[in-house]
A and B are shown apart, each in its own frame.
Chain A
Amino acid sequence: VILALRVRPPKRSETFEAEATPHLDALHRTAARLLSGRDGADDLVQEALLKAYRFFHTWTPGTNFKAWLFRVLYTTFVSGTRAAPPKAVDLAAAPEPTASVDELLKELDRGDAKERERAVFEAVDERIKRAVDDLPEDLRTVFVLNTVEDLKYREIADVLDVPLGTVMSRLFRARRRLQDRLAEFARDEGVRCAGDAS
């Protein structure tokens, strides 16, 4: 009995803690973006972690644990927001496009690349966050998972349980809207500066 007690396999909670701890930053900042910067990211992350621990046995070792955690976070978020709808524009206000991916790509590449770059680089961190938070929830989620958390299209599709094409189209629309929003901010700032000067 003593031998069995000494040579024990790692406990389930130990394994889970070791796997999850490196992703706490990513979970929390994604939760903050899912909530559009509203309060509640702490609670959402804690609830998601508890749920993930409860369903830890469903994760397949060797697969992307981070993507799996995001799936749990997202489902927790969705089940929580059914009672309290998010502040941002609902998907109904931004219907899925009928255009093909090729057309969307072409659309995204419009305008002057240098101007787009300048708008982004002139924006302070808070403004960038606000621009992302202003995106509709579905676009925002895809954008954050792709651009900030480096998930592949296929992994995002699994997290959100949507087709691959939907991920791509949402991503392109998110980028376009973000560009527009940052350009608006840049213009507003320019107007305000001119007004201040006068």
Chain B
Amino acid sequence: VNCSDCRRSLHPYLDDELEVRDHVAILEHLDRCGPCRDVYGSEGRIRSRLKESLAKDRCPVRVAVAFAKSMRGERLRESWLRFLPAAAAVAATLVAAVAVRHAIVSDRQGPFDPWSIGVDAPPARLRYASRFSEPGRCPRTAHGPFVAWAEARYDDLVRDVVANEEPLTCAHLHAWRERGRKMYCPDEFFPAAKEAVGRDVCLPKAFLEGGRVVGGEILSFDGKPVPEVIVAFPDREVVIYDMPVDAVKPGNLHEVVKKAPSAKTVHTCPECDVVVVSCAERVVVMVSRQLRDWSRHWIYEKASSF
């Protein structure tokens, strides 16, 4: 390879389009030829600059959100279509079973029935219908700690924290405890977590009993570190970010998914300002401070499929 050959291969080389043999030959020539090395270096820097300048633009959140919404609509449609034959059979059975149960034990209603508040999730409803119908078993405990956390958090968070756009602190937890909520103050139970994330964190009792708390951080869309609280259970982790949903962009969603290799789904719900990433090892929940009243319906739906 002489200098003329080398210059002719400049662009295919930088585009990584040369055969391996030619690529190596160019590399060898560049090793011993200063002028060619300068030209290659200059062109490489030009490309990096152009790419850096043109690749800065991000997809607006409104587009990402519209996409997520349309996919959610598709999922509901698919679910109905897929389960239509089975749903007809199950519905007929359930109607008969519920009628019989009501006739026999009309006063044995569970303490909490999320489906009585207008949940719009046909597949989850079908899947968990059998659990809810178990007499004497509270759906909260049936679904494990996450639903308990969601329930405790959303009931009061909407009123006390979200409405005022306050950060979640110990003071709220104390207030909740006074109302009989099973949430515990990190000062008393999670000093390690507080130390790890540099601020107060709130966690339900179930986490205290069953999980190991560690702190960490991810980078938000603008490159700033956002504290995360990770509760490690034997079978999975639950990660909580207090991050406004409008700070979530495809870029940092991807960052989250990268931390969980088996993540399959990323659910964004613009109406309720919640993002949930679910996978085998962990559940990631990002919560906005501008939740709407019916947001808990949606999180129940997601929680029931973990």
A contacts, CB < 8 Å to B: 1-2, 4-6, 10-14, 16-18, 20-22, 24-25, 27-29, 32-33, 42, 45-46, 49-50, 53, 102, 105-106, 108-109, 113-114, 116-117, 120-121, 123, 125, 128-129, 132, 144, 146-148, 152-153, 171-172, 175, 178
Contact = CB atoms under 8 A, between A and B. Distances in A.
Contacts of A146: 15
Contacts of A178: 50
Contacts of B58: 25, 28-29
Give 8 nearest A-B pairs by CB, closest first.
Answer: A28-B59, A13-B74, A24-B59, A29-B57, A113-B42, A24-B250, A17-B71, A128-B53
Given A17-B265, A25-B59, 12 more contacts: A1-B86, A5-B123, A10-B265, A12-B78, A14-B71, A22-B257, A24-B59, A29-B58, A33-B54, A120-B49, A132-B54, A144-B54
A53 B58 CA distance: 21
21 contacts: A11-B82, A14-B265, A17-B68, A21-B254, A22-B254, A24-B67, A25-B249, A28-B58, A29-B54, A29-B55, A29-B59, A45-B59, A116-B42, A117-B42, A120-B50, A128-B50, A128-B53, A144-B54, A147-B54, A148-B51, A148-B54
A21 B66 contact: no
A120 B54 contact: no
Contacts of B109: none
A25 B57 contact: yes
A16 B55 CA distance: 23
B79 interface: yes
Interface of B: 7-8, 10-11, 15-17, 38-39, 42-43, 45-47, 49-51, 53-60, 62-64, 66-68, 70-72, 74-75, 78-79, 82-83, 86, 89-90, 123, 126-127, 130, 249-251, 253-254, 257, 263-266
Contacts of A14: 71, 75, 264-265
Contacts of B70: 46, 49-50, 53
Contacts of B50: 120, 128, 147-148, 178
B7 A46 contact: no
Contacts of B75: 11, 13-14
B219 to A, nearest CB: 15
Contacts of B38: 113
B184 to A, nearest CB: 33
Nearest to B254: A22
Contacts of B250: 21-22, 24-25
A144 B51 CA distance: 9
A27 B66 CA distance: 15
Contacts of A108: 11
A179 to B, nearest CB: 8
